[in-house]
A = this chain, B = another copy of it.
Amino acid sequence: MVSIKDVAKAAGVSDKTVSRVVNREPNVSTDTVEKVRSAIDRLGYIPNLAARSIRSSRSGIVGIITDYVSTTPYSGDIVRGIQAWAEAQGRTVLLASTNGDPHREREVWRTFQAHRLDGVLHVAMYRRVVEPENGDIHIPTVLVNARPKRAGSFHSIEPDDFGGSRALARHLLELGHRRIGYIRLNPLLLGANERYEAFRETLQEAGLGQADLDVRLGMEGPIGEEENFVFRETTAMLSAPDRPSAVACGNDEMALQAYLAALQLGLRVPQDVTIVGFDDFRTISLALKPELTTVALPYFDLGWQGAEILDGVIAGPAESGRNRSLECRLVPRASSGPPHQA
């Protein structure tokens, strides 16, 4: 491996001078710079960052800790967002995952510490409350798609499921729907309740009563091995004589199953029944015909902005943790329309 000394020898200068050129320090004659540059190119010298980080005790690396394999494969976008940011900054990203095992997580923190990471993004693949198992290891940390157990103990960034769900409900109201079905997500998911509550609340404010909202549980059980009732429940819901004119689903996967149930009953989307989802999981939302009206989860931006926040924490004094909320925008497509006039 060619080192700074080799370059120095080849260029006929001291190693410190090479160092100066590499780090663009001032006070080096144009001549010398030229000589050194050419030697660097000729020898293919690349500075050893490990050696550099020993001196500066700054590695230029940020770590990502993820927990479970995603329920929504799309949540990998969070990681992409972080990466994109890191690349734009000339930083590097170290990746580790815990599989939800606290013991494993402590190991990861040790590894991160051993690499002297500048900061850590603690990413939850589904939105939830977390308590990082970092023992007594203090590395600037930001929680992404999660909030800390003890408010203020960490900076964090989350999607605004609540607002997104309100927008969705308003959309259906504006189209004229007055009898609406709702298929709930697994109650274990933090987003599940917010989405449902926002939806219910918005309809209530518009004057709809209990009886106008037909709520069914779509999934239940431990994450990753839940039972799935969506098809059965939607079929039941749409077979009833007073069936709703619109069905809102907790996410896009559920909406897919609602489509199948509706079609199997001979109902057309959206002429006979409006179906909407949540997440804008595009593999599904764009593959469905007609394409699915849904709410976009800003996964990429959660990652990117989370990284920005982390950068601030690394640089500045870490005041008490703040929580940032990211808008979830309504994405109106062809699966929603006015109710069928029976």
Contact = CB atoms under 8 A, between A and B. Distances in A.
Interface string A221-254: 0000000000100000000000000000000010
Contact of A76 (B44, B76, B114): B76
A115 B72 CA distance: 33
A37 B259 CA distance: 62
Contact of A231 (B46, B48, B289): B289
- Size class of the A contact interface (CB-based, 8 Å): 35 or more
A44 B136 contact: yes
Given A46-B114, A256-B284, A283-B284, 15 more contacts: A46-B110, A49-B114, A50-B50, A61-B94, A72-B283, A73-B74, A73-B283, A76-B76, A92-B115, A93-B96, A94-B94, A256-B287, A257-B289, A260-B260, A260-B288
A11 B266 CA distance: 79
A69 interface: yes
B50 A287 contact: no
Interface string A37-55: 0000000101111110110
A14 interface: no
A80 interface: yes
A23 interface: no
Contact of A92 (B73, B87, B96, B231): B96
A17 interface: no
A61 B112 CA distance: 12
A79 B93 CA distance: 14
Contacts of A253: 283, 287
